[in-house]
Amino acid sequence: MADLRQACDRCHDKKLRCPKQPGSLICSRCAKATVPCIFSPPTRSLLRNGTVGDSQQPDLAAFDWSSLLEFDQVCNNSPNGDAVQSANPFVTTPPVSDNADTPSLSNTSELANLMASLDRIHSDFPLSYIHRHMSVEMVKQISQSAAARFDMQSTIELLLQQGQQLALLYPPVLKKAHRHVNRPPEDSQCTISDCMHHLRQSLRPRSPPILDHSLLNLLIACHLRLLDIFDNLMDHSRVCAHVFSTLPKNSEPNFDIPEIRIGSFVAPRDSAASIMMTMLVELHSSLEARCQEMSEMVISAAGETSLESRALSLQCEALALRSVGTLADMKALRTKLFSSGILG
């Protein structure tokens, strides 16, 4: 059998170090790409030694060359970490380690995705009946029609997930938003004759912002949109509570909420509604505390040194006030639902 290259054809063509381990038939790169791992003869050494006789010709039928004809294979920025081969045969791109993890989303990307998801929930949410002119009987009919089109169970479940994600994003976003700008010492203390601070006024007369306003504004936008959804949910709950009060006595409420399962235990529908309401209140309490942390961070980091910082401080203050108000509404509604017998 002819001597084979140390690198498989795929790695060789891409100018990459082949990660094949001793004793293994295929390399990990080909295994990840689910393509045949082929090892061809070292053609350069054969050409260097002159013309090879028929007895030394490699058995081409013993190799599967089909992988070389798969022109639709993704080779640029592929998930298996393959590097891009340069058009210049003498210039190669350094190989990328197969063990490198896929880059995680940045906080900005996570917040942008979260904002898009929350906005879809808000757009799909039925309009509140509180601000409409209609009878209770008409509200019942419209509610039944809306329930057939709108999946409240999935919406509440997704709302809990998105709210928890926002609560988890708060600490790293606040940490990243504080740029920790290194302030230079007083110019009078500088002993460097050609120091850059002499050109500061001409190069950049303004100091860089201490806070990442774009990132914080995106965080505030996500929290505000979540509060919009919470307010809509509270409005619908109030309407449902009012409609239930008009029903005949001994009527059983019909809760359209996700199933709550703890191990093999499945909570009854009325108990599940109480648990779900408590979970929403606790989630909102956590977010309200995160909002207070952001307000304190903005004030301590930026103070009132710039118009942007003052505007951001006012946004944080407005968000905190609205968050406190929504939390108070949720607790009041929960008390009303318990006292009216809707929640047990």
Q: Which residues contact 30 (CB under 8 A, 6 or more apart)?
A: 8, 10, 36, 37
Give me the pLDDT at residue 147, please: 60
Angle formed by the axes of helices 213-245 and 107-124, nearest 10°: 30
Residue 39 predicted with pLDDT over 60: yes
In the predicted model, what is the mean pLDDT of residues 153-178? 89
pLDDT-derived band at 23 (thresholds 50, 70, 90) equals low
CA atoms within a 13 Å half-sphere pointing along the CA-CB vector of 198: 6
Give me the pLDDT at residue 174, please: 92
pLDDT-derived band at 217 (thresholds 50, 70, 90) equals very high
Give me the pLDDT at residue 287, please: 92
Per cent of the chain over pLDDT 70 is 63
Strand partners of residue 266? 261
Residue 160 predicted with pLDDT over 70: yes
Residue 318 predicted with pLDDT over 60: yes
Of 13-17, 18-22, 62-66, 319-323, the one with minimum mean pLDDT is: 62-66
In the predicted model, what is the mean pLDDT of residues 270-296? 86
In the predicted model, what is the mean pLDDT of residues 323-333? 90
CA distances from 188 to 164, 195, 197, 290 (A): 50, 12, 11, 41
Angle formed by the axes of helices 213-245 and 269-302, nearest 10°: 150
Q: What is the mean pLDDT of the chain?
A: 73
Give me the pLDDT at residue 83, please: 43
Of 20-24, 96-100, 116-120, 166-170, the one with minimum mean pLDDT is: 96-100
Residue 223 predicted with pLDDT over 80: yes
Of 117-131, 167-181, 326-340, the one with minimum mean pLDDT is: 117-131
